[in-house]
Structure 1
Amino acid sequence: MCKTPTYCDLGKAAEDVFNKGYGFGMVKTDLKTKSCSAVEFSTSDHAYTDRGKASGNLEPECKFCIYGLTFTQKRNTDNTLGTETSLENKLAEGLKLSLDTILVPNTGKKSGELKASYKWDCFSVGSNVDIDFSGPSIYSWAVLVFEGWLAGYQMSFDTAKSKLSQNNFALGYEAADLQLHTHVNDGTEFGGSIYQKLDCRTSLSAKVNNASLIGLGCTQTLRPRVKLTLYQL
């Protein structure tokens, strides 16, 4: 069964041009490893040379595939603790339920979020609800697929203010070696991207938006597990 991507996954192949592996005045490292007990550890840190500021995080993840359960803990240098518990493909094929909680020990601030998503071969839908008794925010999205074309909608509604705080549309096309993506956010932000896979080792990506930001990227696999990525803005 072919699973439809989520709204956040639309155009993801070219997102890294702006969001990952690129940036002036910044040094970043990422590390992933897996213990003999099948617990996966992910860690990353950023150091900004112009501001002298550094930050990092650690995420241990434990999966119980037979039950469809995944437990993830998130800790960072800002002393923020997060926990995610998810259940996937057990109640129904393609259905995922999650509970995210965040605790800041220094201030005692707590927050949580309930998430639900469902994926099938021609559509995907999802919704997140903040655990906030003063007025939760509801975030929802939907994506439809037809012969390689994708259309998506994303919205966020603030129940405390009874106001639509996010209203986004996206349109794209995906093939085996090509991805096109355009989006309109709140009627004011426009952008588009293209991702082209030249062969099994080389890919090109480009992205542009109405803020006159243009990004170009090239990724070359040197060895089976070694990649060289170049970015230009």
Structure 2
Amino acid sequence: MSPPTYGDLGKQARDVFGKGYHFGVLKLECKTKSDAGVEVVAGGSNAIETGKVAGNLETKYKIKEHGLTFTEKWNTDNTLNTELALEDKVSKGLKLVLNSTFVPQSGKKSAALKSTYKADAITINLDSTLDLGGPLVNGAAVAYYKNWLLGYQMAFDTAKSKLTKNNFAVGFTSNDFILHTYANDGAEFGGSLYHKISRDLEGAVDLGWSANSNTTRFSIGCKYALDKDASVRAKVNNNSQVGLGYQQRLRDGVTLTLSTLIDGKNFNQGGHKIGLALDLEA
């Protein structure tokens, strides 16, 4: 089994803190798939404080015999995104992606070519923007050996001939325990710990320190499955912010999520946030 990409290191812990929470937002998302194999995702959100409404539409079509995936995205900021992916055809384990973005209102265009190669003990990413003025090149690699993960990520601005990102990560993974530590540009340090405590209970710890601002962050969170259709989530950080979430599958294809963020330092003054999300899938 190939190691994860650099961006997916520590993903299990991030999911404990991120999934199932929609603070300050009313959200609706609908998913469906046509007989022709076209996957459609449409959704919208309403920011409770500002009243701003945002929407998005995504279509995805896969041609499995040729290893092709064609994806189109549009949002209410009037940004069009097109992605063409080719997987396991040029070489086994190699995925090539051409991504383009177009803003009709301003005429701004951008494009990037991305590649991912996965083998038994290593995963490599190499991306480049398609910019004649000097592309920005991103590279990353994660190696796996006896449950240990070692990762490196870099970014190089060819226009300025300057290294703009220089990150390292070390991790350990097992069936029920995942450790992830990182150092970003010699200024940001941190790590996360994920533990599958039991079949129904997951826990995670996240901590970090910034050398520039000399600030420390610490968070602890958990997810507990009440049954096969319902789960509760809770998290708290060193700023006394408490997040709570409840997710219920009402029926097949219909899931309701309720969440709230409580500011413990200003409990009586208010300013707490609530969120609601409804996911429909057919």
Assess, with a 3 A threshold, how the Cα gap between structure 1 residues 29 and 150 changes in structure 2: closer, same or farther.
farther
**C-alpha separation in 2, matches of 1:201 and 1:49:** 32
Assess, with a 3 A threshold, how the Cα gap between structure 1 residues 84 and 120 changes in structure 2: closer, same or farther.
same
Taking only aligned residues, the RMSD between alpha carbons, in angstroms, comes to 1.9
| Structure with larger Rg | 2
Letter in 1 for 2:218: I
Counterpart for residue 193 of structure 2: 194
Counterpart for residue 206 of structure 1: 205
Counterpart for residue 49 of structure 1: 48
Q: Is the 1:17–1:206 contact (alpha carbons within 8 Å) kept by the matching residues of 2?
A: no
Counterpart for residue 83 of structure 1: 82
Assess, with a 3 A threshold, how the Cα gap between structure 1 residues 28 and 213 changes in structure 2: closer, same or farther.
farther
Counterpart for residue 158 of structure 1: 157
Aligned-pair distance for 1:6? 0.4
**C-alpha separation in 1, matches of 2:236 and 2:218:** 8
Q: Deviations over 1:23-75 (max 9, x none)?
A: 64334444433223222223444433223323232221111111111111111
Counterpart for residue 68 of structure 2: 69
The 4+ residue runs of structure 1 with deviation greater than 6 A are none
Counterpart for residue 218 of structure 1: 222
Q: Residue 12 of structure 2 aligns to a residue in which SS?
A: helix
Question: Normalized against structure 1, the TM-score is what?
Answer: 0.91
**C-alpha separation in 1, matches of 2:204 and 2:183:** 20
Q: Residue 213 of structure 1 aligns to a residue in which SS?
A: strand
Aligned-pair distance for 1:103? 0.5
Assess, with a 3 A threshold, how the Cα gap between structure 1 residues 90 and 132 changes in structure 2: closer, same or farther.
same
Moved more, 198-207 or 26-35: 26-35
Q: Does 1:101 align with 2:74?
A: no
Q: Does 1:111 align with 2:110?
A: yes
Q: Residue 110 of structure 1 aligns to a residue in which SS?
A: strand
Aligned-pair distance for 1:162? 0.8
Q: Does 1:126 align with 2:130?
A: no
Higher RCO, Cα 8 Å, sep 6+: 2
Q: Is the 1:27–1:48 contact (alpha carbons within 8 Å) kept by the matching residues of 2?
A: yes
**C-alpha separation in 1, matches of 2:34 and 2:234:** 31
**C-alpha separation in 2, matches of 1:156 and 1:135:** 13
**C-alpha separation in 1, matches of 2:91 and 2:227:** 40
Assess, with a 3 A threshold, how the Cα gap between structure 1 residues 45 and 214 changes in structure 2: closer, same or farther.
farther
Q: Is the 2:16–2:223 contact (alpha carbons within 8 Å) kept by the matching residues of 1?
A: no
Q: Residue 106 of structure 1 aligns to a residue in which SS?
A: coil
Question: Normalized against structure 2, the TM-score is what?
Answer: 0.76
**C-alpha separation in 2, matches of 1:157 and 1:28:** 37
**C-alpha separation in 2, matches of 1:85 and 1:23:** 30
**C-alpha separation in 2, matches of 1:145 and 1:57:** 37
Q: Is the 1:135–1:158 contact (alpha carbons within 8 Å) kept by the matching residues of 2?
A: yes
**C-alpha separation in 1, matches of 2:227 and 2:81:** 36
Aligned-pair distance for 1:86? 0.5
Unpaired segments of 5 or more residues in structure 1? Answer: none
Aligned-pair distance for 1:93? 1.3
**C-alpha separation in 2, matches of 1:154 and 1:104:** 29
Q: Residue 216 of structure 2 aligns to a residue in which SS?
A: coil
Moved more, 215-224 or 187-196: 215-224
Q: Residue 167 of structure 1 aligns to a residue in which SS?
A: strand
% identical aligned pairs:
45
Letter in 2 for 1:65: K
Assess, with a 3 A threshold, how the Cα gap between structure 1 residues 197 and 86 changes in structure 2: closer, same or farther.
same
Q: Is the 1:184–1:191 contact (alpha carbons within 8 Å) kept by the matching residues of 2?
A: yes
Q: Is the 2:148–2:172 contact (alpha carbons within 8 Å) kept by the matching residues of 1?
A: yes
**C-alpha separation in 1, matches of 2:24 and 2:158:** 40
In the alignment of these two chains, the number of paired residues is: 232
**C-alpha separation in 2, matches of 1:5 and 1:209:** 22
